[in-house]
């Protein structure tokens, strides 16, 4: 045991006098006590093991904890405890205790727990913690887990800690003076480590989608979920990210070392990583040790929705068990079993939603390991709602990204069905019709994943950047808004008739496409959650000729800005990659803008004039075979 002495600045506490054996420290615990256990990797494992091993230990103890990792004695892979456990999060270590009636789960947002404690509604008799050795002034560090400890230290009648030289000394509100402790027990053992299991291909695809919507300068909250942590691996090309998270993991170290996390753009705690606890490997613990760039703060400070909202571009990522078609999210009870917890998700989601440029993200794989859909018509008995439908913004699966905030039930249902597993989409659509969520004539043309890789940013002549992306069934409303911005002449030259409004069926024709023989792209401005459609381009393949009929709509203020050309390039690349032979344009002869656009198509252009309509055929460069019908010669002659 290493002797410690208090420095000259504070000799009022004799560290040595507080050092006792585990048995003697634990003797202070009375039967019937409620005992708080330090969080996660800072759980006092030695004290717990001794307590459990006592032949005639105190009776009727109740342990209170947020999250335990490698804290309870294990027998044949299962946790074995003589006592009851009141937990705020049902982790894998305590989950099995439910069957024996030893587990009490308290659904509560973690940031509310300090108030619960200080109000006296959950009295704590004893706190068992693990801390670093004291410094010269008599301050130990709470190490990798600050989270609930400051609140506990205010209310616990007796405080006992393991002092472990392996525990890193962390900054923030981590320092506690020795005089707050009633007994200290020296231990010298590695701090518990946690390695995220490797995730499969599906989760990796979810992670890639998540990463795709995280912008440079964003501040991240990642939680403990495997998918959010995998998403970190796909952010290596971002710049100036920040971290404001309940927990940090090894993935954060990777991003710091890669120069991706600088905290430079944070609007609170600039240049600092803020978290409440760490879960990871020794590499993470070495990273946070004596590192003033990492601030570990109490959970109620870090996770307060108002504090979260003060960070600009705050991105919160929550992994869910299931979601229904209205957007209700199941995070702590799935198929009757409590697992996980409310944790900090509700607070971070609300905070990120109010953050300027913030993005609250719910992620989940589209199916369970057994293949059942995690996107359900209705949550079932035994599925608990942890996040209200009104708080949900982004929902990401391996089939794409749905944005549902502010959307109607019909729009949500459609958007969520489009990111469900194709095997379940028909069932979901059928159920949505029965529930009255969508129209009875609603269909979904595409059974494939939304082709997110086809999204592209283009610069127009006016230097404005716009996104061109594949259309979805849920774009009908935005397409209708574009239609109503067109002049009556634009509408006539697009549809060759006077049209007051497009029917729902017609709108669906232009956006609810199969992305194979029917293809539609939209040009959109604004952030993903507040897009405005300013252009539409679509093609419809004639399988007999392998030629596709093309049509465009461009918002008036974007006409002449090069948007039509950009959309045409996009359509043509897509078509050529699928072996389409060429495009057919039907253009009113007075529509000179469209005639010019058609003339810019790559390949061999032929035209055929028929009274008011010019039929333009563009055969793509690698498919210059003759047209397969009798009009070929005539078309060529007219073109000549």
Partner 1 sequence: MQSREPRQINEFKVIDDQGNEYALVENQNVVETRSLKWLAAGPSWFGLADGTPVDKIDDQTFRMATNDTVLHRRTG
Q: DSSP per residue over 328-391, as a string?
A: -EE-SEETTEE-B-STTHHHHHHHHHHSTT-EEEEE--SB-TTS-BSEESSPPTT----B-GGG
Q: What distance in Å separates the CA atoms of residue 56 and residue 52, rounded to the nearest whole number? A: 10
Choose between 124 and 580: whose C-beta lies nearer to partner 1: 580
* CA-angle at 87, arms to 83 and 89, nearest 5°: 140
Choose between 289 and 518: whose C-beta lies nearer to partner 1: 518
Choose between 88 and 574: whose C-beta lies nearer to partner 1: 574
Q: How far is the CB of 569 from partner 1 (least distance, A)?
A: 18
Q: How far is the CB of 585 from partner 1 (least distance, A)?
A: 10
SS3 content of the chain, % helix, strand, coil (to 5): 30, 25, 45
Q: How far is the CB of 566 from partner 1 (least distance, A)?
A: 19
Choose between 444 and 550: whose C-beta lies nearer to partner 1: 550
Choose between 330 and 502: whose C-beta lies nearer to partner 1: 502
Choose between 419 and 510: whose C-beta lies nearer to partner 1: 510
Chain centroid to Cα 238, Å, comes to 17
Q: Which chain residues interact with partner 1 by CB under 8 A?
A: 494-498, 502, 506, 509-510, 518, 538-540, 549-551, 586, 611-613
Q: Among residues 584, 480, 497, 580, which one has the least CA distance to residue 536?
A: 480
Q: How far is the CB of 234 from partner 1 (least distance, A)?
A: 37
- How many Cα atoms sit within 13 Å of 60 on the Cβ side? 4
Q: What distance in Å separates the CA atoms of residue 123 and residue 380, rounded to the nearest whole number? A: 35
* 314-319 vs 219-221, strand pairing mode: parallel
Q: How far is the CB of 542 from partner 1 (least distance, A)?
A: 8
Q: What distance in Å separates the CA atoms of residue 235 and residue 251, rounded to the nearest whole number? A: 10
Q: How far is the CB of 288 from partner 1 (least distance, A)?
A: 59
Q: How far is the CB of 620 from partner 1 (least distance, A)?
A: 19
Choose between 359 and 494: whose C-beta lies nearer to partner 1: 494
State the chain's maximal CA–CA distance in angstroms: 105
Q: How far is the CB of 586 from partner 1 (least distance, A)?
A: 5
Q: What distance in Å separates the CA atoms of residue 561 and residue 142, rounded to the nearest whole number? A: 59
Q: Which residue has the tokens 């019909």?
A: 410
Choose between 588 and 638: whose C-beta lies nearer to partner 1: 588
Q: How far is the CB of 448 from partner 1 (least distance, A)?
A: 20
Choose between 30 and 578: whose C-beta lies nearer to partner 1: 578
Backbone torsions φ then ψ of 81, nearest 5 degrees:
-145, 150
- How many Cα atoms sit within 13 Å of 84 on the Cβ side? 13
Q: What distance in Å separates the CA atoms of residue 397 and residue 469, rounded to the nearest whole number? A: 18
Choose between 70 and 509: whose C-beta lies nearer to partner 1: 509
Torsion angle defined by CA atoms of residues 54, 56, 60 and 64, in that order, rounded to the nearest 10 degrees: -10
Any alpha helices (H) in 499-639, and if so which ranges? Answer: 504-511, 563-577, 592-599, 631-639
Tokens of 68: 């335990």
Distance in Å from the first CA to the final CA of the chain: 97
Q: How far is the CB of 621 from partner 1 (least distance, A)?
A: 23
Question: CB–CB of 352/316 below 8 Å?
Answer: yes
Cα dist. 432→51, 78, 325, 504, 509 in Å? Answer: 54, 42, 8, 17, 20
Count of Cβ atoms closer than 10 Å to residue 278 Cβ: 30
Choose between 192 and 551: whose C-beta lies nearer to partner 1: 551
Question: CB–CB of 169/144 below 8 Å?
Answer: no
Question: CB–CB of 619/601 below 8 Å?
Answer: no
Choose between 302 and 510: whose C-beta lies nearer to partner 1: 510
Q: How far is the CB of 415 from partner 1 (least distance, A)?
A: 24
Give the three-state DSSP class for 66: coil
Choose between 488 and 592: whose C-beta lies nearer to partner 1: 488
Q: What distance in Å separates the CA atoms of residue 205 and residue 211, rounded to the nearest whole number? A: 10
Tokens of 129: 């913690």
Q: How far is the CB of 197 from partner 1 (least distance, A)?
A: 49
Q: How far is the CB of 549 from partner 1 (least distance, A)?
A: 5
Q: How far is the CB of 628 from partner 1 (least distance, A)?
A: 15
Choose between 41 and 584: whose C-beta lies nearer to partner 1: 584
């Amino acid at each position: 045991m290493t002797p410690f002495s208090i420095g000259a600045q504070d000799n009022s506490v004799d560290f040595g006098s507080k050092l006792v054996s585990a048995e003697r420290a634990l003797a202070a615990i009375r039967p019937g006590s409620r005992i708080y256990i330090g969080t996660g990797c800072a759980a006092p494992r030695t004290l717990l093991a001794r307590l459990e091993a006592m032949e005639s230990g105190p009776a009727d103890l109740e342990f209170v904890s947020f999250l335990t990792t490698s804290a309870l004695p294990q027998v044949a892979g299962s946790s074995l405890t003589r006592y009851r456990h009141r937990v705020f999060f049902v982790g894998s270590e305590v989950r099995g205790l439910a069957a024996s009636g030893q587990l009490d789960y308290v659904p509560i947002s973690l940031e509310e727990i300090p108030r619960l404690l200080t109000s006296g509604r959950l009295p704590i008799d004893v706190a068992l913690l693990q801390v670093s050795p004291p410094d010269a002034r008599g301050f130990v560090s709470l190490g990798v887990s600050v989270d609930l400890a400051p609140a506990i230290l205010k209310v616990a009648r007796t405080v006992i800690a393991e002092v472990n030289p392996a525990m890193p000394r962390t900054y923030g509100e981590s320092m506690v003076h020795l005089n707050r402790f009633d007994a200290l027990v020296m231990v010298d053992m590695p701090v518990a480590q946690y390695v995220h299991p490797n995730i499969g291909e599906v989760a990796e695809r979810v992670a890639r989608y998540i990463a795709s919507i995280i912008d440079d300068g964003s501040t991240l909250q990642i939680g403990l979920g495997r998918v959010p942590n995998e998403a970190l691996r796909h952010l290596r090309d971002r710049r100036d990210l920040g971290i404001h998270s309940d927990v940090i993991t090894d993935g954060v170290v990777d991003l710091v070392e890669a120069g991706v996390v600088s905290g430079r753009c944070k609007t609170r705690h600039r240049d600092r990583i803020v978290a409440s606890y760490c879960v990871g490997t020794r590499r993470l613990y070495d990273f946070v040790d004596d590192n003033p760039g990492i601030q570990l703060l109490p959970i109620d400070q870090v996770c307060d929705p108002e504090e979260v909202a003060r960070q600009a571009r705050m991105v919160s990522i929550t992994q869910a068990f299931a979601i229904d078609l209205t957007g209700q999210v199941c995070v702590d009870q799935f198929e009757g079993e409590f697992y996980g917890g409310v944790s900090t998700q509700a607070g971070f989601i609300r905070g990120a939603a109010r953050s300027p440029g913030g993005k609250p993200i719910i992620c989940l794989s589209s199916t369970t390991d057994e293949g059942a859909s995690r996107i359900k018509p209705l949550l079932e008995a035994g599925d608990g709602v942890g996040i209200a439908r009104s708080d949900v913004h982004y929902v990401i699966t391996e089939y794409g990204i749905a944005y549902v905030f502010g959307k109607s039930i019909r729009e949500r249902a459609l958007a969520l069905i489009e990111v469900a597993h194709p095997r379940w989409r028909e069932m979901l659509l059928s159920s949505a019709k029965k529930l009255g969520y969508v129209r009875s004539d609603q269909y979904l043309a595409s059974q494939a994943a939304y082709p997110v890789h086809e999204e592209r940013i283009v610069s127009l002549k006016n230097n404005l950047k716009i996104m061109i992306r594949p259309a979805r069934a849920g774009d009908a409303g935005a397409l209708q808004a574009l239609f109503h911005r067109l002049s009556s002449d634009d509408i006539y030259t697009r549809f060759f008739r006077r049209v007051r409004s497009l029917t729902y069926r017609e709108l669906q024709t232009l956006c609810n496409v199969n992305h194979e023989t029917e293809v539609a792209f939209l040009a959109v401005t604004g952030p993903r959650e507040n897009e405005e459609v300013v252009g539409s381009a679509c093609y419809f393949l004639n399988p007999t000729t392998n030629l596709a009929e093309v049509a465009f709509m461009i918002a008036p203020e974007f006409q002449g800005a090069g948007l039509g050309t950009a959309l045409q390039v996009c359509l043509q690349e897509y078509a050529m990659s699928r072996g389409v032979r060429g495009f057919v344009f039907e253009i009113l002869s007075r529509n000179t803008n469209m005639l010019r656009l058609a003339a810019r198509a790559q390949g061999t252009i032929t035209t055929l004039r028929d009274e008011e309509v010019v039929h333009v055929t563009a055969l793509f460069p690698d498919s210059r075979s003759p047209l397969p019908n009798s009009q070929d010669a005539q078309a060529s002659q007219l073109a000549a």
